[in-house]
Amino acid sequence: MSEFLLEIKGLEKSFLGVHALKGVSLKVRRGEVHALMGENGAGKSTLIKVLTGIYRKDGGSIWFDGKEAEAKTPMEANAMGISTIYQELNLVPFQTVYENLFLGREPRTRFGRVDRVRMVQEAEKLLGELGLAIDVTKSLHHYSTAIQQMVAIARAVSSSARLVIMDEPTSSLDTQEVQVLFRVIRQLKGRGISVIFISHKLDEIFEICDRLTVLKDGEYIGDYDIDKIDQLRLISLMVGRGTVELKRNKQGYDFAGARAIVCLKNIRQGMRLNGIHLTLRQGEVVGLAGLLGSGRTELAQVLFGSRLPEEGEIFWWGERARLHSPADAIRKGMGYCTEDRKVEGILPHLSVKENITIALLPRLSRFGFIKAREQERIVRHYIERLNIKTPSPNQAIVNLSGGNQQKVLLARWMCMHPKLMILDEPTRGIDVGAKAEIEQLIRELSENGISVLVISSEIAELERNCDRVAVMREGRVVKELTGDDICQDKIFQAIAGGSEREETV
C-alpha cells in the first residue's frame, strides 16, 4: 500500500477558454494535515471541486487509497470517504443538531420509522468524542459558527470519511474557537484521517499543518514540508514575482504636507478588521497590499459605508464623519469600483449610457425628467476620455469586453467628480492594453487632486502606481512604505513579518 492516501497527477481542467488547472499534482499522506496554498485564481477551489465530484476533470489522474478514483457527484465522493467542510456550511439551520448529523442516513426502528432516540444518543456520543457537550436537540442555528463547524466535522467523521477537506474553516472563528478546531483536527490525525486544510492565515498553516502544496495561476509550484519552509519563502511562491515592467512611475514622496482627505482611526469590525489606522492625503495614490483575507476589501467597505465598523472613527477633511450607507459616502464624494464587477458593478442589460449616468441621475434630472442632451454630452465625453470601445452609447454593457466594462464603471464615478476613488482589484481579468489605460487613468486622477485607494493582489502593479503602500495582515496595517521603499521585496517581507514589526502611522 502506498504511503499516500491521495495522489493527484497532472490534473487538467478548462472552462470555456479559461485554463484553470494546468497539470496540477497533490499528494496527501495518511493521517497528515496538508495545506493547499495559493492566491485568488490559483486553482485551489477548482481542484477541490474536481476532487469532490462537482466538476469533471479534463485530464490527469486521481488515486485515492490505492485505487484510481473519479467521483461523479459529491455523493460518490462521500461514499469513497472524501468529505468536505465548505466555507458556507452545508447544514440545515432550522433542524436540530442530531437531525443534521444523520440527515440522509437516518437509523430506523423495526417498523421503518426514523429512530430519534438512537439518533440523539449517537449524536451525543459522536460530539462527545470530539470534546463537545451540547444539547443536540436544539436547532443548529442556536449555536455559534464554530459549533456548527464541529457538527459538520462530526458528520463527516461519522460517515467514515478518510479525507476531510476544510475550506477556510477558521475565517469566521475567534482565536479560542480556532484552538478548539485544531484540537479536533489533531484528533482526526490521531485516528489516521487526512485533512486538506485551506486557509490564508499563515500562522495557522504553520501551527497545524505537516506539509503544504503551493498552486499559482492554475499551475503546480511544489510541495514542501512545513519545517523546511518559512513564511517569506511561502509568500513569494504564492504571489510570484512580477516580471512585467518593474519601473516605478513615481519617484520620491511629495505628499507629506498635503491635506488629509480621510483618516481612519482604530477601525475594528468582526474578525476581519482589528484596529486599522490609515490616512489618505489629497491627490495621493495609496495601495493596499496583503494576502487574501487580510481585510483589504473589508477596509474599503467600511470606508464606503457598506460595512459598519464596531469601533473606531473616520474623519473626512478632519471632521468626524458618519458613514452609515454607501449613499453617505457618495454624498461626501467617494466612488467605489468593487472587486466583483459582475455582481456588484454593472447593470448588465442596460446600455453603456445608462450605466455611466445611473449614479448621476439625481443631478441630471429635473422634475423627474432626464435632461437628455446633458446626459448625452457627459456620456460622449467620458467614452472619449476613457477610450471606451463601444459601437454606440446605447450598446448593452454585457457586450463589452471586461476592460471596457471596467472603464464604464470608472466613468460612472468620475462623472460624479469624486474626491476619493476606491478601486478594488481594478485590473483583474482584463487585457494588457486596458490595464495600461486604467493605470494611466489612476495617474490622471491623482494629478487632478483626486485621492485613489487601490487594492491589488498584483504587487508589481502597486509598485508601479502608488505613492504609498500600506501592507495589511490579519486586519491590521502592519507597515507603510513610501517613495523608493516601495519594492516587492519589502512588501513581501512586511506581509510575512506579521505582528512583531507592527507599525502605525
Partner 1 sequence: MRTAKKIYDSFYSRSTILAFLLLVVAAGILFADKDFLSVANVNNILLKAAKNGGFLALGMTFVILCGEIDLSVGGVFALSGVMMGLTGQLHPLLGIFCGLLTGVVSGYLIGFLVTKLKISSWIASLAMLFALRGMILIVARRSVAIEGSILTFAGARLLPGAIPGAKSGISILIPLLFLVTFLCMYIARHTKFGMGLYAVGGNGEAARMMGIDVGRIKVRAFVLSGFIAALSGVLLASSSGSATLSAGNVYETYAIAMCAIGGVKLSGGEGKFSGTFFGILIYFIINTIFTYLPAGISVHWQSVIMGALVLVSVAIQSQVFMRYRTRPPERQTGQKPRKPKCKDGNSA
- Choices 164-172, 375-383, 460-468, 473-481; region in contact with partner 1 by CB under 8 A: 164-172
> Least distance to partner 1 from the beta carbon of 255, Å?
27
The interface with partner 1 within residues 264-283 (CB under 8 A) comprises: 270
Q: Is 115 exposed, middle or buried (0-12, 13-18, 19+ CB in 10 A)?
A: middle
Q: Report CA-CA distances (Å) from 207 to 177, 178, 229, 494, 498.
A: 15, 11, 13, 20, 15
Told to check if 425 binds partner 1 by CB under 8 A, we report no
Torsion angle in degrees (nearest 10) through CA of 332, 335, 339, 342: 120
Q: Which is nearer to partner 1, 242 or 326 (CB)?
A: 326
| CB 169 to partner 1: min, Å | 9
Q: What is the CA radius of gyration of the chain?
A: 25
Q: Should residue 436 be labelled a site residue for partner 1 when binding is judged by CB under 8 A?
A: no
Minimum distance of partner 1 from residue 100's CB (angstroms): 8
- Compare residues 146 and 486 and give the one whose CB is closer to partner 1: 146
Residue 133 is a binding residue for partner 1 (CB under 8 A)? no
Pick 152 or 481: Cβ nearer partner 1: 152
Minimal distance in Å, beta carbon 297 to partner 1? Answer: 5
Q: Cβ closer to partner 1: 410 or 486?
A: 410
> Helices in 386-480 by DSSP H: which ranges?
402-414, 432-447, 459-465
427 binding partner 1? (CB under 8 A): no
Query: Which residue in the set 99, 204, 425, 474 belongs to the binding site for partner 1 (CB under 8 A)?
Result: 99
The CB-of-110 to partner 1 minimum distance in angstroms stands at: 13
330 binds partner 1 (CB under 8 A): yes
- Could you say whether residue 90 binds partner 1 (CB under 8 A)? yes
Place of cell 463589452: 400
User: Which residues are CB-contacts of 156 (< 8 A; sequence separation ≥ 6)?
Assistant: 83, 84, 85, 164
- Determine the interface stretch with partner 1 among 234-242, 314-322, 340-348, 366-374 (rule: CB under 8 A): 340-348
Among 61, 72, 103, 377, binds partner 1 (CB under 8 A): 103
- Nearer to partner 1 by Cβ, of 124 and 467: the residue is 124
Q: Which is nearer to partner 1, 172 or 387 (CB)?
A: 172
Alpha carbon 100 to chain centroid distance? 28
d(C-alpha 457, C-alpha 217), whole Å: 12
**Across the chain, how many H-helices and E-strands are there?**
18, 22
Sites for partner 1 among residues 7-46 (CB under 8 A): 40
What DSSP element (H or E) covers 100?
helix 97-102
Asked if 458 is part of the footprint of partner 1 (rule: CB under 8 A), the reply reads no
SS3 call for 107: coil
Interface residue with partner 1 among 2, 23, 56, 75 (CB under 8 A) is: 75
Q: Which of 2, 160, 179, 325 binds partner 1 (CB under 8 A)?
A: 325
Q: Is 316 an interacting residue with respect to partner 1 (CB under 8 A)?
A: no
| φ, ψ for residue 211, nearest 5 deg | -145, 165
Please report whether residue 108 would count as binding partner 1 according to CB under 8 A.
yes
Residue 220 binds to partner 1 (criterion: CB under 8 A): no
Amino acid in the structure at residue 349: H
Does residue 269 contact residue 310 with C-beta atoms inside 8 Å?
yes
Report the distance separating Cα 433 and Cα 211, nearest Å.
40
Sheet containing 163-167, strands listed edge to edge, beginning at the edge strand earlier in sequence:
67-68, 59-64, 4-15, 18-29, 219-225, 211-216, 33-37, 194-198, 163-167, 82-85
Q: Which of 14, 87, 387, 504 binds partner 1 (CB under 8 A)?
A: 87
Please select the residue that binds partner 1; options are 339, 437, 467, 480, rule is CB under 8 A: 339
Instruction: Output 258 or 330, the one with its CB closest to partner 1.
Output: 330
Rule CB under 8 A: say whether 362 interacts with partner 1. Answer: yes
CA 438 to centroid of chain Cα atoms: 22
DSSP 143-188: S-HHHHHHHHHHHHHHTT-SEEEEESTTTT--HHHHHHHHHHHHHH
Q: Should residue 340 be labelled a site residue for partner 1 when binding is judged by CB under 8 A?
A: yes
Of the ranges 250-258, 341-349, 438-446, 471-479, which one interacts with partner 1 (CB under 8 A)?
A: 341-349
Separation of alpha carbons 346 and 351, rounded Å: 10
Site for partner 1 in 55-74 (CB under 8 A): 74
Binding piece for partner 1, criterion CB under 8 A, among 23-31, 57-65, 343-351, 480-488? 343-351
- Give SS3 for 55: coil
Measure the N-to-C terminal CA separation of the chain; round to a whole number of Å.
Answer: 57
Q: Is 117 in the site for partner 1 (CB under 8 A)?
A: yes
Chain residues that interact with partner 1, rule: CB under 8 A: 40, 74-75, 78, 87-96, 99, 103-106, 108, 112-114, 116-117, 120, 137-139, 141-142, 145, 148, 168, 171-172, 200, 270, 292-293, 297-298, 301, 304, 306-307, 325-327, 330, 336, 338-340, 343-344, 347, 358-362
